[in-house]
């Protein structure tokens, strides 16, 4: 029996969630323009207005990804859907893959690749650090991978892996490069073409300020050629002109990028029913980002990150990880000795309607994670969060210099 078995479903009212300020590692509060876009009327998936919106989405996300890639589109599902679609479409059983692992989401790449049947090699560092490029180069030379996979910003450790030069290493070794940019797309620069990364995926629910459920992706021509070499069009939709590839069939139907790319192409080869309202959301997320200007948006996220970090340190707290490689949009901070971290999180939620994040793996119970991204990377929201945290820590008996956090954050925002 669960907690709702005794309830009469007929008594359930309309959904009316509390107006929480989501200042954890994601999801964050969606931009009102995105929510309004989601309320627009639905269209049939082959309506020319709908396919026109699909083409607009492709154009809108190219600058967001820093690419000219033709194959820039959406995967229907959460950010993890795009991660899995990328890996299952790039990697066949027995392929050797090098994972650059520095946190929970590097471990996720390993998990998915292991299920695919890949031979997984790793180059890794302790949580709170990033992997030096020369260590990646040595690992590529040692393992000879078909694919090199990494995360850009790992919210579990709040670290951002430098990717300049990664693509050149992969091209020299004849490998394809994949990057999960779920946590940074729209908040930190993503330069798919300059980095030479072949496939980059993201999500809406973090720096792009949308809901979870649609995952932008961009695919280089080299990666597309490899994926199309594994094309297998299902019988129910194939025609005489459809020619299968010579490579091993992609093991997933739903996450088959070859068929999804055909769906987003001029052929409009039916694969699934596009998640219309989520496409509207993704489209508006990109319009908001580009309307603000990407450089201005990155600067806003950097200012928010500086302010959070300065405010936490002004409280006498210790910030987690390497300052030189910190994500701008998520900050980890050690829970002070003698303070119950979950009691503080509950007090933040109950008294101030503010949510901050807990942690994973070896950091469980050791750090909080405070996010300021997307629609929430705003000065007043950062100040409210720091003020609330200060009040909750004082209530727990933790001694701190009252008022200094907000003062320090204000100075850092404009630094």
Residue-level pLDDT at 372: 98
> With contact defined as beta carbons under 8 Å apart, do 360 and 105 qualify?
no
| 3-class secondary-structure state, position 240 | coil
Q: Report the pLDDT averaged over residues 147-161.
A: 98
- Rounded to whole angstroms, the Cα distance separating 292 from 297 reads 6
Residue 132: in which H helix or E strand, if any?
none
Residue with tokens 């980095």: 195
Q: Is the pLDDT of residue 363 over 90?
A: yes
Helices 341-352 and 379-395: angle between axes, nearest 10 degrees:
120
Residue-level pLDDT at 242: 82
Instruction: Report domain extents, the chain.
Output: 32-289, 294-413
Q: Report the pLDDT averaged over residues 240-245.
A: 83
Q: Report the pLDDT averaged over residues 107-124.
A: 98
- Rounded to whole angstroms, the Cα distance separating 264 from 273 reads 12
pTM equals 0.96
In the chain, what is the straight-line distance between the N-terminal and C-terminal CA atoms, in Å? 55
Q: Is the pLDDT of residue 3 over 70?
A: no
Percent of the chain with pLDDT over 70: 99
Could you say which of 3.40.50.2000, 3.90.1150.10, 3.40.5.50, 3.30.930.10 is the CATH number of the domain covering 294-413? 3.90.1150.10
**Omega within 30 of 0 (cis) for the link into 205:** no
Q: Is the pLDDT of residue 5 over 70?
A: no
Query: What is 32-289's CATH number?
Result: 3.40.640.10
Residue with tokens 């100075």: 411
Enter the tokens of residue 224: 């597309």
Residue-level pLDDT at 8: 80
| 3-class secondary-structure state, position 185 | strand
Q: Report the pLDDT averaged over residues 314-338.
A: 97
Residue-level pLDDT at 243: 82
pLDDT digits (tens, 9 = 90+) for 201-236: 999 999 999 999 999 999 999 999 999 999 998 888
Phi first, then psi, for residue 202 (nearest 5°) are -145, -165
Q: Report the pLDDT averaged over residues 50-65.
A: 97
pLDDT digits (tens, 9 = 90+) for 388-413: 999 999 999 999 999 999 999 999 99
> With contact defined as beta carbons under 8 Å apart, do 211 and 34 qualify?
yes
Nearest to 320 by CA among 364, 354, 378, 353: 364
| 3-class secondary-structure state, position 52 | helix
Q: Is the pLDDT of residue 4 over 70?
A: no
Nearest to 70 by CA among 271, 217, 186, 246: 217
> With contact defined as beta carbons under 8 Å apart, do 113 and 97 qualify?
yes
Residues in contact with 391: Cβ distance below 8 Å, sequence separation at least 6, in sequence order: 351, 352
Residue, of 271 and 132, whose pLDDT is higher: 132
Helices 257-264 and 79-90: angle between axes, nearest 10 degrees:
110
414-to-294, 299, 300, 387 alpha-carbon distances in Å: 19, 11, 10, 18
Q: Is the pLDDT of residue 148 over 70?
A: yes
pLDDT digits (tens, 9 = 90+) for 21-31: 999 999 999 99
Nearest to 67 by CA among 192, 178, 241: 192
Q: Is the pLDDT of residue 109 over 90?
A: yes
Dihedral of the CA atoms 144, 123, 226, 178 (nearest 10)? -160
| 3-class secondary-structure state, position 355 | strand
Residue 2: in which H helix or E strand, if any?
none
DSSP single-letter state for residue 41: P
- Rounded to whole angstroms, the Cα distance separating 299 from 311 reads 18
Q: Is the pLDDT of residue 240 over 90?
A: no
Enter the tokens of residue 73: 């589109």
Summary mean pLDDT of the chain: 96
DSSP single-letter state for residue 361: G
């Amino acid at each position: 029996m669960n907690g709702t078995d005794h309830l009469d479903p007929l008594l359930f009212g309309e959904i009316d969630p509390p107006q929480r300020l989501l200042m954890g590692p994601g999801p964050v509060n969606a931009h009102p323009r995105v929510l309004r876009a989601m309320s627009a009327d639905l269209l049939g998936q082959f309506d020319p207005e709908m396919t026109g919106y699909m083409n607009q989405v492709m154009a809108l996300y190219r600058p967001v990804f820093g690419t000219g890639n033709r194959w820039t589109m959406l995967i229907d599902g959460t950010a993890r859907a795009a991660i899995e679609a990328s890996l299952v479409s790039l990697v066949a059983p027995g392929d050797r893959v090098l994972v650059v692992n520095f946190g929970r989401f590097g471990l996720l790449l390993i998990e998915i690749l292991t299920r695919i049947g890949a031979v997984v090699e790793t180059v890794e560092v302790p949580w709170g650090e990033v992997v030096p490029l020369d260590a990646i180069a040595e690992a590529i030379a040692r393992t000879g991978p078909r694919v090199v996979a990494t995360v850009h910003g790992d919210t579990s450790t709040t670290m951002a892996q430098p990717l300049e030069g990664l693509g050149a290493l992969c091209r020299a070794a004849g490998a394809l490069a994949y990057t999960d940019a779920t946590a940074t797309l729209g908040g930190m620069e993503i330069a798919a073409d300059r980095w030479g990364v072949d496939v980059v995926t993201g999500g809406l629910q973090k720096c792009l300020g949308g809901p979870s459920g649609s995952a932008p992706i961009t695919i280089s021509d080299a990666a597309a050629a490899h994926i199309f070499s594994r094309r297998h069009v299902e019988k129910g939709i194939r025609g005489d002109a459809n020619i299968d590839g010579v490579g091993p069939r992609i093991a997933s139907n739903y996450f088959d990028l070859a068929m999804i790319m055909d769906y987003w192409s001029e052929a409009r080869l039916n694969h699934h029913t596009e998640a219309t309202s989520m496409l509207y959301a993704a489209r508006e997320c990109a319009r908001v980002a580009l309307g603000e200007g990407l450089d201005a948006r990155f600067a806003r996220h950097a200012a928010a990150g500086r302010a959070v970090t300065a405010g936490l340190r002004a409280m006498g707290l210790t910030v987690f990880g390497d300052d030189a490689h910190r994500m701008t949009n998520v900050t980890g901070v050690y829970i002070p000795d003698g303070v119950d971290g979950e009691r503080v999180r509950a007090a933040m939620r109950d008294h101030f309607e503010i949510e901050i994040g807990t942690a994973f793996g070896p950091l469980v119970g050791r750090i909080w994670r405070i996010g300021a991204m997307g629609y929430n990377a705003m000065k007043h929201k950062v100040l409210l969060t720091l003020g609330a945290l200060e009040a909750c820590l004082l209530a727990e008996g933790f001694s701190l210099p009252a008022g200094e956090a907000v003062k320090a954050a204000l100075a850092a925002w404009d630094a």
